[in-house]
Amino acid sequence: MNQLISTQDSQRQQIMHAIATSARLGENTKAQYSREVVKAQAAGVNLLNATEVADYASTLSTSSRSFLRAGLKTWTRRIKLETNAGATPDSMNVVNATIARLSALDEAIELESHKGQKAHLWLSSSEVRYLMSTVNGRTGRRDKIVLALLVGAGLRRDEAVNLRWEDVKNQGERVVLDIVGKGQKARIVPISDTLAIMLQSWRQLSKSTKSERVLRGHASGGRLTDSLTGAQLFNIVRKYGKRIGKEALAPHDLRRTFAQLGYENGVPVTQLSRLLGHASIETTQRYLNMELDLNVTASDFVPL
């Protein structure tokens, strides 16, 4: 419980350590969270003072506010666990005070969406075809693979940029992707024949470098670099989103679309949950544009 009684430097070290050692986060996400923590402290914010944090966060963009909040929550979650684990009957007053202070910090940063703004975005089948048809130019082949891995395999941004050719495997008559996602959870994602052929063609085209990464950056003159960053991938998605009138299109929207189109065509939610690497079906349900049907339920078909 002495974690809360610390210097500014010690605060930052503790928070940064919690982010860096979190098994739930990808490397790009860790970098984004850490950057916002450093910026906040450089601005003189006491990261344990909920009022100071709230005032500072109100000056940030939505994305920066979101990253700072998530970074702080990564730390407070760990401290709450350690505080509760060390609780004794004699220390309950201190424990409760510590938990209350951490909870206030968790709620200090408000993430308000603009009025009328959709929280999530899904593309229809026709919109996906339109999206893919807009891909052209010098980087077109690479860009099409980027979009296809997100919307055709449901990969997270970090999973896509870290995918290696050794992760593309034959399993029976199907090509699958061997993915290690959040929390180091492994999963197999079977892909369509169309995506498998696209990957095979891209592999032949990108043999010019020694990198084993599937996705590459583009240097001047069209030369492929050894890897693609998460930020570059985000910009690729945003670029083609604008071409179809979806200016706010993000990588996670394509992952949601993968789930939604599968669900609409009869893939069970339980299977979608495994394909997405979700910890629970409830998480998958939030991905889907679905509501509970109270008129017809499974109970109606059980012969009691």
Active site residue 80: no
Q: Which one of 157, 255, 256, 263 is the catalytic residue?
A: 255
- CA proximity to 41, closest of 66, 16, 75: 16
CA distance 33 to 29: 6
CA distance 250 to 269: 23
Q: Which one of 39, 218, 252, 274 is the catalytic residue?
A: 252
Q: Which one of 30, 156, 213, 256 is the catalytic residue?
A: 156
Q: Which amino acid is at 72?
A: L
Active site residue 252: yes
CA distance 172 to 242: 39
Q: Which one of 56, 240, 263, 287 is the catalytic residue?
A: 287
Structure tokens at 239: 């670029």
Q: Which one of 182, 187, 238, 274 is the catalytic residue?
A: 182
- CA proximity to 239, closest of 158, 138, 153: 138
Q: What are phi and psi of 291, to 5 degrees?
A: -130, 155
Active site residue 12: no
What beta strand segments (E) does the chain contain? 168-171, 174-180, 186-190
Active site residue 287: yes
Angle formed at CA 191 by CA 188 and CA 197, multiple of 5 degrees: 135
- CA proximity to 114, closest of 61, 156, 150, 158: 61
Distances, alpha carbon 232 to alpha carbons 19, 47, 255, in Å = 22, 30, 17
**Distance from the Cα of residue 70 to its chain's centroid:** 12
Q: Which one of 144, 246, 256, 278 is the catalytic residue?
A: 278
Indicate which residues carry an active-site annotation: 156, 182, 252, 255, 278, 287
